[in-house]
Amino acid sequence: MITPHPGDTASPAGARHEDDATRTPAPRRDAEATKAAILRAARHLLARHAHADITLKAVAERAGVSAPLILKYFGNKDALFARVMSFESDAEALLDAPLPDLGRHMVRHLLEGQTLRGADPVLRIVFAPLHGEQGDILRANFRTQVSERLAGRLTGPDAGLRAELAVATLLGLGVMYGIARGTHLRAAEIEDIVDRYAPAVQNHLTP
C-alpha cells in the first residue's frame, strides 16, 4: 500500500494517487555514460597534447564532470590513460564481423565512430610520437591488440603483412575524414564511402 504524502488526503486501501502514477524518479547520473564521456575527453586531449601536459582538470572540463569523479571511477591519471592507450575494446568492435564482410564493417565502424559516437577506434595511434614512453606503450598495444589480432583471423600467406596493409588503408581514411576533414569526403553519405572504400580494405583481408 502507498503511504500518503504529508498533506495528502488518505485514500481507500489499494487506491493509487494520480500523482504517484505519473511521478518519475529524480534523474541520476548514469555511471557508464559518465565513464564513456571521460574516456572520450581523454582520447580527444591525447590526440592533441603530449601526455605529460594533460591534466585531470582539463579532462574533467571537457567531459563536463568534476576531477574527483574521475578519481572515483579510474583511480588516478595513469589508470585513466592506461585505458585510453588500450585498443582492446575498440578492436573487438572494429573486427566484429565475418571475414567476407569485414572490410565493409571496418570502414562503416570507423566513419560512424567519428560522426555518431565522437570517437575513432584507431586514429589515436597517429599521435603516438607526441607521448614519449607512453607513445611506446600506445604502439605496442596497437600492434598486439589491432594488427596482430586481425592477422590471427586471416587465412592464406602473408597474414601479418596483409593485416597491417588493411589497417593502414583504414587509417588513411580516418586521417582524411577526421583530421584533414576532407570537404567532399565529409559531404558524402557514409554508405557511399563504404561502397567505394571497403573493397580496398577487403582486398588485403581476402586476396
Q: Which CATH number goes with the domain that contains 75?
A: 1.10.10.60
Q: Number of folded domains in the chain?
A: 2
Same domain, 79 and 100: no
Spell out the long-range contacts of 26-35 with Cβ–Cβ below 8 A and sequence spacing 24 or more: 31/73, 34/63, 34/65, 34/69, 34/73, 35/73, 35/74
Same domain, 151 and 121: yes
pLDDT, one tens digit per residue, over 107-136 is 999 999 888 876 778 888 988 888 888 889
Same domain, 109 and 171: yes
- What number of other Cβ atoms are within 10 A of residue 172's Cβ? 13
Q: Which CATH number goes with the domain that contains 169?
A: 1.10.357.10
All 3 cell numbers of residue 93? 568492435
pTM, 2 dp:
0.75
Structural domain for 45, as ranges:
31-84
Same domain, 97 and 73: no
pLDDT, one tens digit per residue, over 28-85 is 458 888 988 898 888 888 877 888 888 999 999 999 999 999 999 999 888 998 888 8
- Which of 106, 96, 115, 100 lies closest to 172, judged by CA? 106
Secondary structure, 3-state, 19-76: HHHHCCCCCCCCHHHHHHHHHHHHHHHHCCCCHHHCCHHHHHHHHCCCHHHHHHHHCC
